[in-house]
């Protein structure tokens, strides 16, 4: 399937592609073929900046031994939402509006974009609170 093939090819190079409409300049999610705003077919691939704003999340509790994950939905700087695991975050410290960054996960289907907290390091003692 052309769209997902192009997406995965760019992802393998660490590039997260979105769909920018030539007619109305809306940036759409990568999985559309038609602009959600104006229904034009004139969509170009356009790389995401990699920055996102947290909207909501969950902490999953699958059957052991599968480990818990934080699954988040965040709004990319360009507008589309992206759903992905948020790694290396303390779920108890999350808040809507937190800045996230795109990271990359290798999977059987290819490299896919996931989230990490923006500018944070894994060790909790280095965490600097960024809100009250």
Partner 1 sequence: MTDRMTQPAHKRAVIAGAGMSEVGKVTGTAEEFAVAAINSALQDAGLGLGDVDGLLVSAGAMGGVSLDLAVTLGLRDLRLLSQLQAFGATATQMVQQAVLAVESGTATTVVCVWADDPIREAGREALYGSGIRPRSPWRAIHSAAGAVGANDLYAVATRRHMNRFGTTSEQLGHIAVAQREWAGLNPVAQKGDPITLADHAESRWISEPLRLLDCCLISNGAAAFVVTTADRASAGPHPAVEVRGWGQSHPGAYLQRNDDFGLVSGAARSGPAALDMARLALTDIDLVQLYDCYTFTVLLTLEDYGFCDKGEGGEFVASGVLGPGRSLALNTGGGQLSGYYLWGMTPLMEALTQVRGTAGQRQLAQHDTALVSGNGGIFSHHATLVLERAGS
User: CB 113 → partner 1: shortest distance, Å?
Assistant: 6
State yes or no: residue 73 binds partner 1 (CB under 8 A). Answer: yes
State yes or no: residue 7 binds partner 1 (CB under 8 A). Answer: yes
Q: 28 and 20 in contact (C-beta within 8 Å)?
A: yes
User: CB 38 → partner 1: shortest distance, Å?
Assistant: 15
Q: Which of 17, 21, 28, 98 binds partner 1 (CB under 8 A)?
A: 28
State yes or no: residue 107 binds partner 1 (CB under 8 A). Answer: yes
Q: 55 and 81 in contact (C-beta within 8 Å)?
A: yes
Q: Which of 12, 40, 49, 60 binds partner 1 (CB under 8 A)?
A: 60
By C-beta, is 29 or 40 nearer to partner 1?
Answer: 29
State yes or no: residue 53 binds partner 1 (CB under 8 A). Answer: no
Burial class of 10 by CB neighbour count within 10 A (0 to 12, 13 to 18, 19+) = middle
The dihedral through the CA atoms of 105, 29, 130, 86 has a sign that is negative
Segment interacting with partner 1, rule: CB under 8 A, options 2-10, 44-52, 124-132: 2-10
Q: Tell me the CA distances in angstroms from 76 to 2, 101, 108, 122, one per residue in order.
A: 23, 9, 25, 22
């Amino acid at each position: 399937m052309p769209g997902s093939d192009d997406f995965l090819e760019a992802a393998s190079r660490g590039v997260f592609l979105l769909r920018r409409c030539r007619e109305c300049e809306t940036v759409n999610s990568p999985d559309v073929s038609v602009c959600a705003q104006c229904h034009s077919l004139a969509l170009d691939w356009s790389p995401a900046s990699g920055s996102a704003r947290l909207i909501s999340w969950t902490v999953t509790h699958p059957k052991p031994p599968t480990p818990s994950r934080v699954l988040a939905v965040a709004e990319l700087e360009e507008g589309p939402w992206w759903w992905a695991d948020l790694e290396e975050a303390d779920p108890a410290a999350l808040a809507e509006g937190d800045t996230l960054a795109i990271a990359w996960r290798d999977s059987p289907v290819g490299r896919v974009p996931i989230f990490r907290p923006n500018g944070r390091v894994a060790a909790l003692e280095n965490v600097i609170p960024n809100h009250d």
